[in-house]
Structure 1
């Protein structure tokens, strides 16, 4: 699953369930298992399969429903001439994941050290001066949440290939308005191309 998909998948599936209701959601999940042997969470990794099942139930209306649900999670500001795209995070739970990562001193350092420059995990921890035990765990959490994404490999002396990682976002803006926190992230168009969710749903 691409980093952007990992970031939005859980919130998107939850939003789809809220919009469809429990019974319809369960029927779709049952059909997913019948056709592909996967559940809704796994379908986020293969969004085209979820889209096909949604179209069985809703026909051409599935596209509008999927787009509506995605826009409750993130919205995209188009930038044709730029190599980067801005997203506004609309979902509170997703914004919380990002803010909690930034609020953690070590995770913040990891993301900062990999903005615009991919590194292997050991190099990240050495650069950030983070102990290995807690450092590997925090790197793993950032990968799981889609905030740290694979970016090629490097061959070590023993011919072992090790994955390099970089931060999903190139820039991030946090705005405070009354009781609301607005989070905007800027990602590369390459990240968008790798997203199976965005390949199916046009923002």
Structure 2
């Protein structure tokens, strides 16, 4: 069973999640990286997101602790790419009279990282 975590009203992660959910590109990147870590190049190819926009959003999501670097790959021509994975498996937003609660379920399939 999933362990829900209620975010505090003044939490930076809460603010970052609300901002990310309001942006189509950020939502797409978050969805694409729940199950499997992906490079920005893979995300661009699979989702038809402009390269600069994808890098900008991934950087914002990583900075706000929604994504993490889950590894890296080096291509045959020596280019290094980081693989990003969503730290959150599920996000529940409850909106009502004078109430806005956010509950998250962390992505337990991920390894432990010093970035977390």
TM-score normalized with structure 1 length: 0.50
Q: Which has the higher strand share?
A: 2
Q: How many residues align?
A: 115
The higher radius of gyration belongs to: 1
Mapped pair 1:86 → 2:4: yes
Q: Is the 8 A contact 1:115 1:167 kept in 2?
A: yes
- 2:87 corresponds to which residue? 168
- Structure 2 runs not aligned, ≥5 long: none
Say if 2:100 is the partner of 1:184: no
Question: What is the deviation of 1:160?
Answer: 3.6
After superposition, the Cα gap between the structure-2 partners of 1:183 and 1:195, relative to the gap in structure 1 and judged at 3 Å, is farther
Matched position secondary structure for 2:53: helix
Runs ≥4 residues deviating over 3 A = 188-197
Structure 2 CA distance for aligned equivalents of residues 165 and 91 of structure 1:
27
What is the deviation of 1:188?
Answer: 3.6
Question: Partner residue of 1:138?
Answer: 57
| Structure 1: unaligned runs, 5 residues or longer | 1-81, 198-203
Q: Distance in 1 between matches of 2:47 and 2:92?
A: 22
Match of 2:46 in 1: 127
Cα 1:127–1:192 shift into 2, 3 Å? closer
For 1:97, the equivalent position in structure 2 comes to 16
Structure 2 length normalisation: TM-score?
0.83
Structure 2 vs 1, CA of residues 182 and 86 (structure 1 numbering), >3 Å: closer, same or farther? Answer: same
Larger helix share, 1 or 2: 1
Cα offset for 1:190?
6.8
Task: State the distance in 2 between where 1:153 and 1:180 align.
Answer: 41
For 1:147, the equivalent position in structure 2 comes to 66
Answer yes or no: is the 8 Å Cα contact 2:86–2:107 preserved in 1: no
Instruction: For 1:143 and 1:154, locate their aligned partners in 2 and report how far apart those are by CA, in whole Å.
Output: 18
User: Structure 1's 132 and 183: CA in aligned 2 closer, same or farther, altered over 3 A?
Assistant: same
